[in-house]
């Protein structure tokens, strides 16, 4: 798999704790977007780690290694289990979770990597990522499909235990307007809302400094009950090597 890098069309301001992006920022082709859409349908599997036997979430996983200095990502063929601390994930913290892996030679690797590289460039521009402090970091790509009714964030308002993260809408079908509202909260004053918005169009995205803010997305409902309804989002996380 070739190395992946990207140019950023609109850079965030230095010191920004979060910002939003749209499709034009990523430079993906129509074929790229089609590949990502199909991946959520063809390559995800039920998430067996949801509490209380819930079945509304499907997912797949991919791991990259990022050289921060040159913003080049390399896919990791056999990622280790994914683990979060109990402090940041009260539902499954401390559990070694394995998900279906998107292999380096999968067609989705290139567009997903380009999205991650674009986010990485913005994080360096904002001063969130620094090659001097973190020469290399791990980049998680979570392919998350939530069926309605369902909860994109069953853990509630939270941090992810990362350096930074981002969320990218890939496909939205039959989701009721006013549900699935995302919000960013001040990390020092968790009850203070910094921004609230709805991801509606493909590649509507947001990026956040996980050490400075918290985030949450409300539950989703179907516009037309009884018809297929889902919200497919690519979640990207930047974390330090253990």
Residue 128 domain-assigned (yes or no): yes
pTM of the model as a whole: 0.93
Give the pair of three-digit tokens for residue 127: 């001063």
Measured CA to CA, the distance from residue 35 to residue 121 in angstroms comes to 23
Query: Quick check: is 12 in a domain?
Result: no
pLDDT of residue 24: 96
Q: Which two tokens stand for residue 223?
A: 């516009």
For residue 13, being part of any structural domain is answered with no
pLDDT tens track for 97-146: 799 999 999 999 999 999 999 999 999 999 999 999 999 999 999 999 99
Supply φ then ψ for residue 28, to 5 degrees. -80, 145
Strand partners, 198: 181
Q: What spatial distance separates the first Cα and last Cα of the chain, rounded to whole Å? A: 24
What is the Cα–Cα distance from 136 to 239, expressed in whole angstroms? 9
Q: Domain for residue 7, yes or no?
A: no
In a domain? residue 9? no
What is the tally of structural domains in the chain?
1
Per residue in 195-231, pLDDT (tens digit) is: 999 999 999 999 999 999 999 999 999 999 999 999 9
**52 domain-assigned:** yes
HEC string for the chain: CCCECCCCCCCCCCCCCEEEECHHHCCCCHHHHHHHHHHHHHCCEECCCCHHHCCCEEEEEEEEEEECCCCEEEECCCCCCECCCCCCCCCCCCCCECCCECCCCCCCHHHHHHHHHHHHHHHHHCCCCCCCCCCEEEEEEEEEEEECCECCCCCCCECCCCCEEEEEEEEEECECCCCCEEEEEECCCCCCEEEEEECCCCCCEEEEECCCEEEEECCECECCCCCCCEEEEEEEEEEECC
Place of tokens 């080049």: 72
Torsion-angle region of residue 53: left (phi > 0), alpha (psi -120 to 50) or beta? left
> Per mean pLDDT, which range of 85-89, 101-105, 170-174, 204-208 is the poorest?
85-89
What is the domain extent for residue 100? 18-240
At 49-84, the pLDDT tens digits run 888 889 999 999 999 999 999 999 999 999 998 877
CB–CB of 122/19 below 8 Å?
Answer: yes
Is 96 inside a domain boundary?
Answer: yes
- Residue 69 sits in a domain whose CATH number is 2.60.120.620
Residue found by looking up tokens 């063809």 in the block = 42
Q: Are 55 and 40 in contact (CB under 8 A)?
A: no
Nearest of 163, 53, 183, 38 to residue 111 by alpha carbon: 38
Residue 50 lies in a domain: yes
């Amino acid at each position: 798999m070739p190395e992946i890098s990207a140019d950023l069309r609109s850079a965030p301001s230095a010191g920004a704790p979060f910002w939003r992006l749209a499709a034009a920022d990523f430079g993906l082709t129509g074929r790229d977007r089609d590949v990502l859409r199909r991946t959520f349908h063809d390559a995800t599997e039920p998430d067996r780690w949801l509490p209380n036997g819930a079945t509304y979430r499907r997912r797949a996983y991919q791991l990259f290694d990022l050289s921060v200095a040159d913003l080049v990502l390399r896919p990791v063929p056999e990622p280790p289990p994914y683990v979060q601390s109990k402090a940041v994930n009260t539902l499954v913290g401390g559990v070694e979770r394995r998900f279906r892996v998107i292999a380096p030679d999968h067609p989705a690797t290139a567009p997903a990597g380009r999205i991650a590289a674009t986010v990485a460039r913005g994080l360096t521009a904002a001063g969130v990522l620094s090659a001097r402090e973190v020469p290399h970091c791990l980049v998680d790509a979570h392919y998350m499909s939530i069926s309605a009714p369902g909860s994109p964030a069953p853990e509630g308002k939270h941090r992810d235990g990362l350096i930074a993260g981002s969320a990218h809408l890939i496909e939205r079908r039959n989701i009721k307007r006013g549900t699935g509202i995302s919000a960013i909260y001040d990390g020092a004053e968790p009850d203070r809302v910094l921004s609230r918005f709805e991801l509606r169009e493909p590649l509507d995205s947001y990026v956040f400094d996980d050490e400075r803010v918290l985030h949450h997305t409300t539950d989703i409902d179907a516009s037309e009950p009884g018809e297929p309804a889902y919200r497919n989002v690519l979640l990207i996380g930047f974390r330090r090597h253990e």
